[in-house]
């Protein structure tokens, strides 16, 4: 059964005349008659009482037309909803992101984008590293905001921001008055690390490997705010990005002397999956407007891995 057959059926039912219906459909009368006959054969019952070229719905036709009208209405509503959700000016963009980025970075992106496209809506999902990657892989989100190190072969990404990493100690720590520190000076200090489901874990692990130095974690936390809380309580020291959600009273942020200690945050999506025009426009906006989230001296590049 084809959609056009159903549309032909309703037109004939409304006009009750084959010739008038064929003209309204811009179709030859034999072709229209064939389509209606084929539909009746598929259903196994006649739908019309025929009197020459005049036709009238029989009881089966009345029964069937009610459901066809409802079905076509639902299909049209579905088409309209898809158009509204995918339209670059009125659509919905589905974004997942690491929990800590919901305090500052994600609201900034949405604010700046909606200043240019106020009718676009965002469906947001937040979680740890494992959560947001699952949202992307299952198609729940169009894209995600996470660490650069988490990109895979089927991901394409845009760098959004580079955040300097600091050694963080409690205010009463014996190193709290230092203007800068080498990581090697933390040897022997209780260190608050991160579990694998945290997006910053891969970055810190990579940086430690680059320095040929590794600290054994005394505690492994689920997320960054928990790390900051443990440090504030005097349970250890750690390495964190200086983001708004982590700026707790009682913490001291000390620059790292070794080079390369930055956390690069990226917007990434799957290059093997369909992206709506609304989602593509957000990506295009970020890639062409570095002043939105980057310092003025930073630049953006689209990179595949």
* Helix segments in 192-288, DSSP class H: 201-210, 224-232, 277-288
Give me the CATH topology for the region 162-263.
D-Maltodextrin-Binding Protein; domain 2 (3.40.190)
What class, spelled out in words, does domain 3-86 have in CATH?
Answer: mainly alpha
The ranges of the chain annotated as CATH 1.10.10.10 are 3-86
pLDDT bracket for residue 305 (50, 70, 90): very low
Residues 47-96: pLDDT tens digits? 999 887 788 999 999 999 999 999 988 888 888 778 777 777 888 899 99
Closest CA to 167 of 256, 289, 58: 256
Give me the pLDDT at residue 222, please: 83
d(CA 230, CA 220): 10
Kindly provide the b/e burial profile for residues 257-290, where b requires at least 16 CB atoms within 10 angstroms of the residue's own CB. Answer: ebeebbbebbbbbbeeeebbebbbbbbebbeeeb
d(CA 39, CA 45): 9
d(CA 178, CA 190): 18
pLDDT of 212 higher than 80: no
Instruction: Name the DSSP letter for residue 180.
Output: -
The ranges of the chain annotated as CATH 3.40.190.290 are 162-263
Residue 290: C-alpha distances to residues 98, 116, 283, 300 (Å): 21, 15, 12, 6
CATH architecture, range 92-160+265-304: 3-Layer(aba) Sandwich (3.40)
Give me the pLDDT at residue 97, please: 93
d(CA 1, CA 39): 7
Residues 127-139: pLDDT tens digits? 888 889 899 989 8
Give me the pLDDT at residue 303, please: 36
Q: What is the mean pLDDT of the chain?
A: 86
Residues 86-111: pLDDT tens digits? 777 888 899 999 988 888 889 999 99
3-state secondary structure of 162: strand
Give me the pLDDT at residue 151, please: 63
- Per the DSSP assignment, residues forming a β-bridge with 67 are none
pLDDT bracket for residue 269 (50, 70, 90): very high
The ranges of the chain annotated as CATH 3.40.190.10 are 92-160+265-304
User: Is 8:32 a contact under the CB 8 Å cutoff?
Assistant: yes
């Amino acid at each position: 059964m084809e959609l056009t057959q159903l549309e032909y059926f309703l037109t004939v039912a409304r006009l009750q005349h084959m010739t008038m219906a064929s003209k309204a459909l811009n179709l030859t009368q034999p072709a229209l008659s064939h389509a209606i006959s084929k539909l009746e054969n598929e259903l196994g019952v006649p739908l019309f009482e025929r009197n020459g070229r005049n036709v009238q719905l029989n009881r089966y036709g009345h029964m069937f037309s009610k459901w066809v009208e409802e079905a076509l209405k639902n299909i049209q509503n579905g088409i309209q909803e898809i158009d509204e959700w995918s339209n670059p000016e009125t659509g919905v963009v589905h974004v997942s992101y690491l929990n800590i980025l919901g305090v500052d970075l994600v609201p900034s992106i949405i604010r700046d984008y909606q200043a240019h496209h106020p009718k676009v809506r965002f469906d947001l999902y937040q979680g740890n590293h494992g959560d947001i990657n699952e949202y992307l892989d299952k198609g729940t989100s169009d894209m995600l905001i996470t660490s650069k190190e988490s990109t895979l072969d089927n991901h394409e990404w845009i760098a959004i921001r580079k955040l300097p990493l600091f050694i963080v100690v409690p205010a009463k720590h014996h190193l709290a008055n230092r203007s800068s520190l080498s990581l090697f000076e933390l040897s022997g200090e209780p260190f608050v690390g991160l579990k694998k489901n945290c997006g910053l874990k891969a970055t810190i692990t990579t940086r430690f490997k680059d320095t040929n130095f590794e600290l054994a974690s005394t505690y492994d936390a689920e997320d960054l705010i928990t790390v900051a809380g443990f440090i504030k309580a005097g349970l250890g020291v750690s390495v964190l990005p200086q983001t708004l959600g982590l700026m707790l009273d009682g913490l001291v942020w000390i620059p790292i002397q070794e080079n390369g200690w930055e956390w690069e945050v990226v917007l990434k999506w799957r290059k093997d999956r369909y992206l709506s025009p609304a989602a593509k426009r957000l990506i295009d906006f970020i890639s062409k407007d570095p002043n939105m989230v980057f310092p003025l001296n930073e630049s953006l590049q689209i990179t595949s891995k």
